[in-house]
Amino acid sequence: MDVSPRIAIDAMGGDIGPAVMVAGMARARRRDRVLRFEVFGDEAKIAPELAKHQPLFDSVVLHHCTDAIEASEKPSQAIRRAKTTSMGLAINAVKEGAAHAALSGGNTGALMAMAKLALRTMPGIDRPALAALLPTLGTTDCVMLDLGANTECDAQNLVQFAVMGSAYSRTVLGISKPRVKLLNIGTEELKGTDELKEAAGLLRDADYLPLRFEGFTEGDRLSRGDIDVVVTDGFSGNIALKTAEGTARFVTDLLRRAFTSSLRSKAGFALSKPALNLLKVHLDPNNHNGAVFLGLNGLVVKSHGGANYKGVANAIGVAASMVRNDITRKIGEDLDNFRAHAFNGEAAE
């Protein structure tokens, strides 16, 4: 799709608010000169930040509103204020066609609830899923979903997640036929819940889809680089993601402590600094920021609440990539293909 992506920004979301969101927009705009932004939030707080970043002067339309969603606000409460808050208005800009995608660093539950209500799920999708990229030892990152949108999933949900995750991998990572695995407690076919076994059977039979289903994987294999898409329910996925993030912080903190424990250690740190900087870059969540709600009639990206301006810029880049590659259309085509084959199989029986 040959377009200049227009991204709706909830400038009031995230732990820091307008300062980091605007700085992230400026970094993204320096990388991609055709980006445009519809920015929603308190003009008194946003305008001074915009004035600091010359690359944004001709690319931003600022929409003033003082109402914002709190981090602790329940989704049921947030929905009632969808028409007056910066988050709700950013999503509505996608619904109305004023923007190609929306981005927020705010309350995840509220963002999902508002997005689902405003944009609705695509035909053939029962539940939207939250997908993100995980760092690996391979040449590319790994797509993982669901990461918390759905705590319980049946086999059909998992198959739909596999289709959506594969489309995301093809779009953002450029992998023509992604390797897909289901997260399980073992790799043997007899292990796991009935839902996992049924989903595995459906995916094995779907060899006409642009993906390669390779069975089950365990949690310790997520970062090895031999999987392109990992599919699971939101409960397990969220635990796996938070565990991986915690482990990354543990490793970096442990190394920092070890290299400052003595003069000899400090000398070793000086010699090892190039390798440690590479490790830091690889494990920095800001370099993988930008979780995506897949399965909606519109694009919505969730930035981590604690992301810095580099992380915000990365999330904007993810949104722009999905817009240009028309991921919603690709997911729809894959789902139509799956349903057509499934229907023909049932008719033959």
Is 283 part of any domain?
yes
The last residue of a domain, from among 291, 316, 341 = 291
Residue spans of beta strands (DSSP E) within 246-327: 291-294, 299-302
- 315 with 131: CB under 8 angstroms? no
76 with 131, same domain: the answer is no
On whether residue 74 sits in a domain, the answer given is yes
CB 229 within 8 A of CB 181: yes
| Amino acid at site 11 | A
DSSP state of 153: -
The number of distinct structural domains making up the chain is 2
Q: Is residue 349 part of a domain?
A: no
CA gap 126, 268 in Å, rounded: 54
Q: Is residue 60 part of a domain?
A: yes
- Which of 265, 291, 317 is the last residue in one of the domains? 291
For the chain, list residues with pLDDT below 50: 347-349
pLDDT, residue 284, reads 62
- Range(s) of the domain holding residue 34: 1-125+295-325
CA 146, chain centre distance (Å): 10
**Residues 185, 160: one domain?**
yes
pLDDT score recorded for residue 348: 47
What is the tens place of the pLDDT at every residue in 211-238?
Answer: 999 999 998 888 888 899 999 998 998 8
Are residues 257 and 131 part of one domain? Answer: yes
Tokens 């049946």 locate to 154
Name every residue whose Cβ is closer than 8 Å to that of residue 105 and which is 6 or more positions away in sequence. 10, 13, 14, 15, 20, 21, 302, 303, 304, 305, 307, 312
Alpha carbon distance 163, 149 (integer Å): 17
Q: Report pLDDT for 347.
A: 46
Q: Say if residues 17 and 71 touch (Cβ distance below 8 Å).
A: no
Interatomic CA distance for residues 146 and 131, integer angstroms: 6
Residues 135 and 170 in one domain: yes
Question: CA dihedral in degrees (115, 157, 105, 76; nearest 10)?
Answer: 50
Whether residues 300 and 265 share a domain: the answer is no
Q: Which residues pair with 134 in a beta bridge?
A: 142
What CATH code is carried by the domain that includes residue 28? Answer: 3.40.718.10
Question: Residues 265, 275: one domain?
Answer: yes
Q: Is 199 exposed, middle or buried (0-12, 13-18, 19+ CB in 10 A)?
A: buried
Verify that 195 and 183 share a domain, yes or no: yes
What secondary structure letter does DSSP report for 173? I
Same domain, 90 and 183: no
In a domain, 341, yes or no: no
Phi, psi of 328, deg, nearest 5: -60, -40
Q: In whole angstroms, how far apart are CA 130 and each of 16, 115, 194?
A: 23, 12, 23
Give the pLDDT confidence score for residue 269 in this predicted structure: 56
Residue 1 has a pLDDT of 54
